[in-house]
Structure 1
Amino acid sequence: MTISTEPATAPASWGEPRSKTVYWHDPKIALAAAPGRTGLEFLTAMLDGEIAGPPIGGLLGMRPVSVGPGDIVFACTPDESMYNPIGLVHGGVACTLLDSAAGCAVHTTLPADVGYTSIEIKVTYLRPIHAHTGELRVHGWVTKPGRRVAFAEADVRDAEGALLATATSSCLILGG
């Protein structure tokens, strides 16, 4: 699938066009590996490369670094394709990273065949993120597990450990 937002004839003043190729694997195959696995087992299998990560990970270049009960860390290196009109990585990218980390942290606490969905997220942006910021570490952890609703927090830090954004999240537990 090729999607282009480049006009057929762009003015020379725009400079040379740039492109980015995104790869992902059929998410139905990974989902087929989920039944019978706890959330921790499923995400550990993803970390170990036994099953493919979700397509959003390919789009953002996000990859799992560590996973444990109620805790997960992702890494992502932003680039200029994520810029908003004022030359910063769009806040929606940070929000997506935070939502993923908080949700996956909740997922690690769930029994087999039980899912979740985000019902609320509050993001606080503390510092701008640029393409030259380098690798980001996104950490999510559960603050209160639950049978119907679970609560988690997450943060985004740069390679030096500077705090860039934080989030609090609520997730609805599905099934079980």
Structure 2
Amino acid sequence: MNSEGVTAAAPTRTAEWGEPRSRTVTWHDPLITAAGAMQRSGLETMEAIRDGLLPPPPIALLVQMGIGALEEGRVEFTCDVDESVYNPIGVVHGGLVCTLLDTVAGCAVHTTLPAGFGYTSIELKVNYLRAVHATSGPLTAVGTVVKPGRRVAFAEGEVRDASGRTVATATSSLLVFPLPPA
């Protein structure tokens, strides 16, 4: 916006930009999964998503995440990366890696909760250790519960690239609470 409050027009496409690229995302009603989670423990909910009994949350499809290994207090997810998640300097946006870490930390805590309980992040500290490129993936993220709790739980996460190199780590504190009836 200039000093007169007028927004400049977007730049016109040029031949140097090449052909446009696209990726389509489809998902199912997320409230189906939420309702299914009310009847299952956190671990059972995660298993039901992994096994296709409940639809995955839309964010998982948007950022191309999938569930790998599951056990109480530990989850492993994969994430395909491509240039659709690049930032302006030509590397995967750190927000994608942060989302992956937040997800595995939260889902690790979720695996420790009984039916009818949920969680939300209170704090997330991420350490980025190396840049991620489309050729770095797929990424593998592991979330582990450090200390479960009835009100607050603590977890950590690590993301590795396809070569096994750690690209980021995180620590997280999460609020645990009873879910309201639907």
**What is the CA RMSD across the aligned residues, in angstroms?**
1.4
Match among 66, 86, 91 for residue 88 of structure 1: 91
Percent sequence identity is: 58
Q: TM-score, normalised by structure 1?
A: 0.93
Matches within 5 A, 1:18-167: 18-167=21-170
Structure 2 runs not aligned, ≥5 long = 1-9
- Give 3-state SS (helix, strand or coil) of 1:34's partner: helix
- Residue by residue over 1:123-169, the C-alpha shift from the partner in whole angstroms, topping out at 9 and shown as x without a partner, is 00001100011211010000000111000000100122110100000
Contact 1:47 1:66 in 2 (8 A): no
Structure 1 runs not aligned, ≥5 long = 1-6
Residue number in structure 1 paired with 2:7: none
Q: TM-score, normalised by structure 2?
A: 0.90
Distance in 1, matches of 2:19 and 2:39, equals 50
In the alignment of these two chains, the number of paired residues is: 170
> Displacement, 1:36?
2.3
- Residue by residue over 1:86-129, the C-alpha shift from the partner in whole angstroms, topping out at 9 and shown as x without a partner, is 00000000000000000000000001100000010000000110
Distance in 2, matches of 1:168 and 1:90, equals 19
